[in-house]
Amino acid sequence: MLECVPNISEGCDEEFISALGRVISAVPDVCLRHIDSGKTANRTVYTFVGNPQAVVDAAFAMYEFAAAHMDMRTHKGTHPRAGIVDVCPLIPLNGLTMAEANEYALQLAQKVSEKLQIPVYLYEASARADYRTRLEQIRAGEYEGWAQKIRLPEWKPDFGKAVFNEKTGITVIGARKFLLAYNVNLTTNNVEIARKIAREIRELRKQGILPSVKAIGWYIEDFAVVQVSTNITDFEQTSLYTVFRTVKELAAHYDCTVCGSEVIGLLPRAALQQAGEEILRENPQLQQSPVQTAIRVLGLNALKSFDEGFIL
């Protein structure tokens, strides 16, 4: 199986969001598992899985529909972005190798650039240069900066011409490990506190204390909550609970604390099991299973009901 978790730069138009979900679901042998939209971020994350070739076909159908109905020239939102389909990762599941997932990523990248004239950059396991392996390296400058950035020789697209498409922007495609999009809620209305904590987390990463963690701070108007939003690129290195506990410790310096958290998209059971076991080692008096302990202590039901059907 192959998983695809594209991030689309539209989180407000519910009719479009639903229509794009139907485009993905219409491809045989593909299961659309989750749609998560944010109006403030103006961004929607789709999660679908299935037969690898079918997933690639669904991803291209998604790009085609987005290119026909979206225009980046009018996009505004709090989340960093560089194109209509900002990033389209492909994640190998159930025995599929990373090398095989990369072949599917290259197939999709070539088709998107040739058929839709969208410049494509490869990242993570598909990257062809160290300085453009991580998403934040490629996305630096965001959509507004890419008209000039694409002209630089070192930023020639991996697929497609070095010509900026104002309507679609650029896109990033690649095979990668399972990533946890994990957001921790703060008991404050001051978004600057979240941004300061995110900077401190990034410093801890540089020091090797929180490897595999990226962080930004933002205010989510949809839930009226300030969050430290993180991406955990390797939960075996840095667990959900480690991030939760670290944010809580840093928040105390600003006279606030945490009030639950959320995971966007599918979640490996191993990640919850790992977090729960860490919590139980610190709190042996708790009587629940590790998975249920993690759900409760991390407050995964704080903003909306946590659907255990999304646990892989």
165 and 211 in a single domain? The answer is no
160 and 257 in a single domain? The answer is no
Range of the domain at 90: 2-175
Query: How confident is the model at residue 171, as a pLDDT?
Result: 98
CA 66, CA 239: separation in Å to the nearest integer? 34
Q: What is the CATH number of the domain that holds 146?
A: 3.30.990.10
CA dihedral 201, 207, 209, 210 (to 10 degrees): 40
Query: How confident is the model at residue 289, as a pLDDT?
Result: 95
- Looking at 175, 206, 224, the residue that finishes a domain is 175
Query: How confident is the model at residue 158, as a pLDDT?
Result: 98
8 and 146 in a single domain? The answer is yes
- Looking at 175, 202, 237, the residue that finishes a domain is 175
Check: CB of residue 72 under 8 Å from CB of residue 168.
yes
CB atoms < 10 A from the CB of 4, how many? 26
Residue 74 DSSP symbol: G
Q: Angle at which helices 240-252 and 191-206 pack, to 10 degrees?
A: 120
Count up the domains in the chain and report the number: 2
49 and 170 in a single domain? The answer is yes
Helix or strand (DSSP H, E) at 97: none
Query: How confident is the model at residue 309, as a pLDDT?
Result: 81
Residue with tokens 């009018």: 74
CA 175, CA 122: separation in Å to the nearest integer? 9
161 and 44 in a single domain? The answer is yes
CA end-to-end span of the chain, whole Å? Answer: 12
189 and 166 in a single domain? The answer is no
200 and 267 in a single domain? The answer is yes
- Looking at 175, 209, 228, the residue that finishes a domain is 175
90 and 144 in a single domain? The answer is yes
Q: What is the CATH number of the domain that holds 258?
A: 3.30.70.670
Catalytic positions, please?
Answer: 79
- How confident is the prediction along the chain (312 residues), in pLDDT tens digits per residue? 999 999 999 999 999 999 999 999 999 999 999 899 989 999 999 999 999 999 999 999 999 999 999 999 999 999 999 999 999 999 999 889 999 999 999 999 999 999 999 999 999 999 999 999 999 999 999 999 999 999 999 999 999 999 999 999 999 999 999 889 999 999 999 999 999 999 999 999 999 999 999 999 999 988 899 999 999 989 999 999 999 999 999 999 999 999 999 998 888 999 999 999 999 999 999 989 999 999 999 999 999 889 888 888
201 and 118 in a single domain? The answer is no
| Residue 192 identity | E
Q: Which two tokens stand for residue 48?
A: 């679908």
253 and 117 in a single domain? The answer is no
- Is the whole model's pTM more than 0.75, yes or no? yes
272 and 158 in a single domain? The answer is no
58 and 152 in a single domain? The answer is yes
